[in-house]
Amino acid sequence: MKVKYRFNPESLSYDKVKTSFKAWILKFFTFFTASIVISIIYYVVFSYFFNSPKEKALIRVNDQMKLQYELATKRLDEMSKVLDDMQQRDDNLYRVVFEAEPISRSVREAGFGGVNRYEELEKATNNQLVVETSKKLDIVSKRMYIQSKSFDEVISKAKYKGQMLMCTPNIQPVANKDLKKTASGYGWRIHPIYKIRKFHEGMDFTAPVGTPVYATADGTIAEEGRDAGYGNKLLINHGFGYETLYAHLEQFNVRLGQKVKRGDLVGYVGNTGLSTGPHLHYEVHKGGKPQNPAYFYFNDLTPSDFNQVLEISSSMGQTFD
């Protein structure tokens, strides 16, 4: 320890300086306090301009998470575009083919009501990015769920589409390749007996008595008997809202309740009931309402044949029944 001296002018000599304990303690605390203050200043300055290893690690983790969220957002946008394409095909192709109503936009784009689902996320760092990504994820998840349910419905309908096609009338009820048997068609006509304008709900095919008559689709014989106007008639229930009627028959080849396939022989052309000549009167009903039978020969006719049938059937001024 260094010894300090102080010059004494009276004795013209150097006297040894003695430090009291109190002065020593005061000096110690002065240096100690100054050291602490300087240390704090160094710490603050260093912390402000330089990151600690732990902070650097946290920054790297934060940057990685931010990048992952940005990538997730980009992928969600891509998935949303794919869902848009799936939705377009679903509404405009699949559901049209299988006769299902399109899902309304309000259902597909319905939001989430109730409480704030993102309250906790809003407290996080980069909360805007986190909340927006979470919202997109929820929206895409809901749209995928709705689309999945839609495909379930389409698949269910597709399972019955084959059966429905077999039960949809699509051939002529008599052999008529040259179309010469085609007579009066669907629409307003002059009744041959009453001579009044009356709506003709079917199509007439002229043919000799005994000409075979065929079922135009799979179904069940719902009616078989005699009618004052239609004479001997058959009604086949095909299901899916379709029925076909065959009138003025000479005789039947089926019985009530019998199941038939498309092309099965069900009876023979006759001239019974209110009829002015041997012919078959044929009707197609959908949902209880008569339809133009000409639109249900698509398995038999080419486009040119179809136009010819329409021309022949519409040119007749009156019917045979």
Give the pLDDT confidence of 71-107 residue by residue, as tens digits: 878 888 888 888 888 888 888 877 877 767 778 777 7
pLDDT tens column, 230-243: 999 999 999 989 99
Placement of tokens 């009627």 in the chain: 245
Q: Rounded distance, CA 60 to CA 67, Å?
A: 11
User: What is residue 232's predicted lDDT score, i.e. its pLDDT?
Assistant: 97
Placement of tokens 């839609």 in the chain: 150
Q: 220 pLDDT band (50/70/90 cuts)?
A: very high
Residue type, 37: V
Q: Is the pLDDT reported for residue 275 higher than 70? A: yes
User: What is residue 181's predicted lDDT score, i.e. its pLDDT?
Assistant: 86
Q: Rounded distance, CA 266 to CA 251, Å?
A: 9
The four Cα atoms 63, 68, 74, 77 give a dihedral, to 10 degrees, of: -130
Please answer whether residues 103 and 148 qualify as being in contact, where contact means their C-beta atoms are separated by less than 8 angstroms: no
- Range of 66-70, 82-86, 279-283 with top mean pLDDT: 279-283
User: What is residue 316's predicted lDDT score, i.e. its pLDDT?
Assistant: 64
Q: What's the mean pLDDT in 4-9?
A: 71
Q: What backbone phi and psi angles, to 5 degrees, belong to 90?
A: -65, -50
Between 148-152, 198-202, 271-275, the lowest mean confidence (pLDDT) is in: 148-152
Q: Is the pLDDT reported for residue 177 higher than 60? A: yes
Which H or E run includes 274? Answer: none
User: What is residue 180's predicted lDDT score, i.e. its pLDDT?
Assistant: 85
Q: Can you read off the two tokens belonging to residue 287?
A: 């949902």
Q: How many residues are recorded in the chain?
A: 321
Q: Rounded distance, CA 148 to CA 268, Å?
A: 50
Q: What's the mean pLDDT in 152-171?
A: 84
Q: Is the pLDDT reported for residue 306 higher than 80? A: yes
User: What is residue 2's predicted lDDT score, i.e. its pLDDT?
Assistant: 64
User: What is residue 112's predicted lDDT score, i.e. its pLDDT?
Assistant: 55
Q: Rounded distance, CA 244 to CA 184, Å?
A: 17
Q: Is the pLDDT reported for residue 115 higher than 60? A: no
- Of 142, 150, 76, 155, nearest to 109 by C-alpha is 142
User: What is residue 251's predicted lDDT score, i.e. its pLDDT?
Assistant: 96
Q: Rounded distance, CA 167 to CA 160, Å?
A: 10
Please answer whether residues 231 and 246 qualify as being in contact, where contact means their C-beta atoms are separated by less than 8 angstroms: no
Q: 130 pLDDT band (50/70/90 cuts)?
A: confident
The pLDDT mean for the chain works out to 83
Question: 187-315 belongs to which homologous superfamily?
Answer: Glucose Permease (Domain IIA) (2.70.70.10)
Q: What's the mean pLDDT in 23-44?
A: 81
Cross-strand partners of 203: 282
What DSSP state is assigned to residue 91?
I
Which H or E run includes 110? Answer: none
